[in-house]
């Protein structure tokens, strides 16, 4: 088998299962899962209806490029959401549907990296672990850029030396960030674009939380928007990843897309033809109305805002947690070592969270996840409130 498989790290949730193995939570407390980033809001009924009314497509092979109507709906959404020039994202040459961004992020790196050239794939640390696994299996070396409170949870691009940038094939950005919720502004994204031009690498911007933000008046900026701001309407060296999983609470649908530089998307389409990961036609049909509708997204976003409003005051004085600008996570410091905290919270309160170090790597500048946990506010408002009260209860005993 491919020896690179041995270099993959265990997935965070396997490590969590080991940590909690054998622990018996109190039977009189129902379980509140806050470890997985799986939105639990009601999926929109019209998406389910579109899916079932497309079952007549099961007899037809989908093609890698996807349905023209779907790519058009995605392009229209990008244009509306990020204020792009209408028509600047050509749905035929600049957009490809993927089976959720997880699959897209992974396969993109396989297509983008020259595995014979000793290349780096740069990524934030902590991170979504697919970036790292994709880099390893593509024969590249992952390079971790720590995000800490000191750098506002954004990778310090100016701390990377020229020699490293020269080896960089792909820079992963994640904004809004998982697990920190940090958002990159236009100036930050423009700096990344300058570096990509100078050192000839691709920016892969994972924006799957773009529609989950806590201030209605401040939707997070996207990479294509930063391109637009500098008149770079060919989106050269830039690709963005978007998903319906968080936006429409349909993580089981497996639907997202990649968009940007036509030359990069063209090569990636060729790769996908061989990889055989075309999105099923029923999924594509169900995705069209989801990208066209904003009402259900606003309803879901307001629920996330309500959770933060309710939970933050309860956690004050218990955990060192700050309200992030976006996404649905709290990246909190714990009063005792995070694995101990996680185990006790499960054992005594039947609440599951994730130790931060399961999402991060130790670097020469330290481990940015070492003293934190990630709390996902994905359950109902009432359950999130109950969980915050239970966290308070535990903290009072520490
Ligand atoms: C940062 C980030 N990127 C990508 C994904 C994958 O999302 P999906 O494959 O459902 O689109 C996730 C899921 O949790 C995520 O947190």
CB atoms within 10 A of CB 24: 8
Judge whether 202 and 196 are in contact, CB under 8 Å: yes
Distance CA 310, CA 305 (A): 9
Our mutation pick for probing the ligand 1 site, out of 208, 255, 374, counting the most ligand atoms within 8 A of Cβ, is: 208
259 CA to centre of own chain: 16
* C-alpha dihedral sign at 268, 130, 238, 245: positive
Q: Is the minimum distance from the CB of 368 to ligand 1 under 6 angstroms?
A: no
Beta strands 202-206; 168-174: pairing state: parallel
Across the chain, what does the average pLDDT equal?
Answer: 97
Kind and range of the H or E run holding 69: helix 68-82
d(CA 43, CA 40): 8
pLDDT tens digits for range 264-310: 999 999 999 999 999 999 999 999 999 999 999 999 999 999 999 99
Residue of the CA atom closest to atom 6 of ligand 1 = 102
pLDDT digits (tens, 9 = 90+) for 120-173: 999 999 999 999 999 999 999 999 999 999 999 999 999 999 999 999 999 999
pTM of the model: 0.98
pLDDT beneath 70, residues of the chain: none
Q: Is 97 in the pocket of ligand 1 (CB under 6 A)?
A: no
Write the CB contacts of 339 (distance below 8 Å, at least 6 apart in sequence). Answer: 19, 355, 357
- Rounded to the nearest angstrom, the distance between the alpha carbon of 28 and the centre of ligand 1 is 33
Ligand 1 close to Cβ of residue 256 (< 6 A):
yes
Going by alpha carbons, the residue nearest to atom 15 of ligand 1 is 128
Q: How many whole angstroms from its chain centre is CA 362?
A: 21
User: What pLDDT, on the 0 to 100 scale, is given for residue 229?
Assistant: 97
Q: Is the shortest distance between the CB of 387 and ligand 1 below 6 Å? A: no
Crossing angle for the helix pair 68-82 and 281-292, to the nearest 10 degrees = 30
| pLDDT of 187 | 98
CA 101 – ligand 1 centroid, Å = 6
CA 133 to chain centre: 15
- Count of alpha carbons within 13 Å of 188, Cβ hemisphere only? 20
Measured in angstroms, how far is the CA atom of residue 267 from the centroid of ligand 1?
23
Q: How far is the CA of 394 from the centre of ligand 1 (A)?
A: 30
């Amino acid at each position: 088998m491919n020896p690179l498989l041995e270099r993959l790290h265990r997935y965070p949730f396997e490590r969590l299962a080991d940590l909690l193995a054998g622990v018996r939570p109190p039977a009189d407390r129902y379980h509140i899962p806050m470890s997985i980033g799986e939105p639990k809001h009601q999926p929109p009924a019209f998406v389910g209806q579109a899916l079932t009314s497309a079952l007549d497509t099961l007899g037809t092979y989908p093609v890698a490029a996807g349905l023209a109507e779907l790519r058009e709906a995605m392009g229209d959404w990008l244009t509306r959401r990020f204020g792009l020039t209408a028509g600047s994202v050509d749905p035929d040459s600049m957009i490809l549907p993927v089976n959720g961004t997880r699959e897209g992020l992974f396969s993109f790196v396989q297509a983008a990296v020259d595995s014979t050239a000793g290349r780096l794939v740069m990524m934030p640390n902590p991170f979504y672990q697919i970036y790292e696994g994709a880099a390893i299996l593509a024969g590249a070396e992952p390079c971790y850029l720590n995000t800490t409170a000191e750098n506002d949870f954004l990778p310090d691009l100016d701390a990377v030396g020229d020699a490293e940038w020269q080896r960089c094939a792909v820079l992963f950005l994640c904004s809004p960030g998982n697990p920190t919720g940090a958002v990159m502004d236009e100036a930050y994204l423009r700096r990344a674009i300058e570096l990509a031009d100078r050192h000839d690498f691709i920016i892969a911007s994972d924006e799957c939380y773009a529609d989950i933000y806590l201030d209605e008046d401040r939707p997070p900026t996207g990479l294509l928007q930063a391109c637009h701001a500098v008149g770079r309407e060919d989106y050269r060296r830039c690709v963005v990843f978007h998903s319906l999983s968080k936006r429409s609470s349909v993580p089981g649908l497996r639907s997202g897309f990649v968009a940007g530089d036509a030359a990069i998307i063209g090569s990636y389409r060729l790769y996908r033809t061989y990889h055989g990961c075309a999105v099923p036609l029923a999924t594509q049909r169900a995705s069209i109305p989801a990208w066209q509708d904003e009402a259900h997204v606003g309803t879901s976003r307001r629920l996330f805002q309500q959770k933060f409003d309710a939970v933050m005051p309860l956690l004050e004085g218990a955990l060192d947690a700050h309200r992030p600008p976006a996404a649905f996570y709290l990246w909190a410091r714990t009063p005792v070592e995070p694995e101990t905290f996680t185990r006790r919270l499960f054992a005594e309160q039947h609440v599951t969270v994730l130790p931060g170090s399961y999402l991060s790597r130790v670097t020469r500048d330290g481990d940015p996840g070492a003293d934190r946990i990630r709390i996902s506010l994905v359950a109902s408002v009432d359950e999130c409130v109950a969980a915050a009260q239970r966290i308070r209860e535990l903290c009072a005993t520490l």
